Amino acid sequence: MNMNMKMLVTSDWHADAVTNGIERYNEIESIALEMVKTAIEERVSVFVFAGDLCNPGLGGRTIMAISLASKVANMLDDVGIRSIWLAGNHDVVDVDYPLSSLMPLCTQGNSNINVAQVPMVVELAHVPFRFLCLPYVSKYLGARMYEHHNYVEALTAGFSAHDWKYTIVVSHMTALDVTGLEVGTESNEFRYGKSYKLNLPSYLDRGVRLVIQGHFHKHQRHGGLFVPGSLVRLGFGEEKHHPHYHILSI
């Protein structure tokens, strides 16, 4: 098995965004489609979206955002690129079962399009790394899955040191105790769940190759913690951000 892998990593599209009265959809769509072209040209094997596609309740803007994600997932699948889509805090519907803006992607019956609406481990054929996905969940599921950490621990209970080394964590929970992490107004937006921050550095201590952390709009890297950031500057206060998607070779 080839132990090197190219991955396209992106997050926080917020394809339903409106900034100062201006709808951002067309701009975000054009970057998303350019991203697919780049993924194909760069021959990436995996595409990772780390959460916050759109709010579920904004009518036409929600539907356009979901259609865009669905189109991107299918375009990638057409050329054999597997994708992983995490739910973020904006995506989640607050009910006691898994439901988010990403739900339509997992009802297409396509095993190359992986949607994480609850914590799960995703393994992909011919890809050396496994993905421990830690999406945002509703407060009902959060009480069960994150406040009682044994739910997440059980997912990895059988991991050997070698398994951890070939694990990539993808998270849309808050990153606890990361020195130097720069956060914007998005850090105030968790409606709940601030009490069950994840100790992401503890995963790095176990030897995981990389932690991909969504939610934060500013692209940054702190050791093994990689924050893809948003695709466009979504609000005032983000003027100094240089938003983009990222190709990682690991």
> Where do contacts with Mn ion occur on this chain (CB under 5 A)?
52, 88-89, 215
Q: What secondary structure does DSSP assign to 205-247, as a single string?
A: HTT-SEEEE-S-SS-EEETTEEE---SS--STT-TT-----EE
- Closer residue to Mn ion (CB): 100 or 156: 100
Contacts (Cβ under 8 Å, ≥6 apart) of 13: 28, 32, 49, 52, 53, 54, 65, 68, 69, 230, 231
Choose between 11 and 83: whose C-beta lies nearer to Mn ion. Answer: 11
Q: By C-beta, is 87 or 124 nearer to Mn ion?
A: 87
Q: Which residue is nearest to Mn ion (CB)?
A: 215
- Closer CB to Mn ion, 88 or 142, in the complex: 88
Q: Where are the beta strands (DSSP E) in the chain?
A: 6-10, 18-19, 22-23, 46-49, 82-86, 113-116, 120-122, 130-134, 167-171, 210-213, 220-222, 225-227, 246-249
88 or 193: CB nearest Mn ion: 88
**Residue 92, CB half-sphere, CA atoms under 13 Å: how many?**
28
Least separation in angstroms between residue 55's CB and Mn ion is 11
Shortest Å, Cβ 33 to Mn ion: 23
Contact in structure between 231 and 38 (CB atoms under 8 Å): no
Which tokens go with 2? 């080839």
**Cβ-based nearer residue to Mn ion, 45 or 89:** 89
* Shortest distance in whole angstroms from residue 193 CB to Mn ion: 11
The token duo for 129 is 């790394």
CB of 90 to Mn ion, least distance (A): 6
Q: Whole-number minimum distance, CB 135 to Mn ion, in Å?
A: 10
Shortest gap between Cβ of 212 and Mn ion (angstroms)? 13
